[in-house]
Amino acid sequence: MPLTVVLRYYATGLIALTTGLRMKKLLIIVTSIATLIPAGCSRFHLVHRIDVQQGNVVTQEKVNRLEPGMNRNQVQFVMGTPILADIFHQDRWHYVYRLKPGYDDLQEEQVILFFEDDALVKIEGSMQPSAEPIPADQTTGVTSLVVPPEERVPPGLFNKIWHWITFRKADEESI
């Protein structure tokens, strides 16, 4: 083989080798940028983060409705089922409410109720009953819900076939 052919072959291989290294470097740079951009976008709140609520909703209005001497059923009607009813301390009920808004700080409310002889004795926690009464315009009253009558929608083709197969009329209820 002549020397010029070997040099040409070596030179083309060297050019191909340097082109391959350039492509690898470019690929590494593009991949790095593609992975860092979404991580940087999370600081600008472009991605939606849901609000996470945990526990019983504890409001000042509910705590104000508590009175010493209420029995457990009355307290449970006002506050709801306790999030923690300790088996070792059956006279203590814990109500915890945690709210983590998408990008905001954690908000936590905690109320601990103490009972003696099935009667409410003491309230501890981040909320205490207020001494002054709440004005009537700030209290929530009874909410009535009006349910409109159900509209009769004519059955579709699949519904008619299903009723024909099951030997029922279209307005009969299934068991």
pLDDT tens, the chain, 175 aa long: 554 544 455 545 545 555 667 778 888 888 887 777 766 655 666 667 788 888 888 889 999 999 999 999 999 999 999 988 778 888 999 999 999 988 888 999 999 999 999 999 999 998 888 876 655 555 556 666 676 677 676 777 887 888 788 877 656 555 5
* Statement to judge: residues 82 and 99 lie in one domain: yes
3-state SS of 121-141 is EEEEECCCCCCCCCCCCCCCC
Which two tokens mark 126? 């981040």
Domain range holding 100?
52-125
Q: Are 49 and 104 in contact (CB under 8 A)?
A: no
Within a 13 Å sphere around the CA of 127, how many CA atoms are in the beta-carbon half? 22
The pLDDT, as a whole number, for residue 138 is: 55
The pLDDT, as a whole number, for residue 25 is: 81
Q: Measure CA of the first residue to CA of the last residue in the chain; give whole Å.
A: 92
Give SS3 for 118.
Answer: coil
- Phi, psi of 140, deg, nearest 5: -90, 130
The pLDDT, as a whole number, for residue 167 is: 74
Provide the number of structural domains found in the chain. Answer: 2
The pLDDT, as a whole number, for residue 51 is: 87
Does 146 fall in a domain?
Answer: no
Integer angstrom CA distances of residue 156 from 42, 44, 150, 160, 170: 47, 49, 17, 6, 10
C-alpha–C-alpha distance, residues 154 and 117, integer Å: 59
The pLDDT, as a whole number, for residue 170 is: 56
The pLDDT, as a whole number, for residue 132 is: 66
The pLDDT, as a whole number, for residue 116 is: 93
* Statement to judge: residues 120 and 103 lie in one domain: yes
Does 116 fall in a domain?
Answer: yes
Does 133 fall in a domain?
Answer: no
* Statement to judge: residues 38 and 61 lie in one domain: no
The pLDDT, as a whole number, for residue 6 is: 47
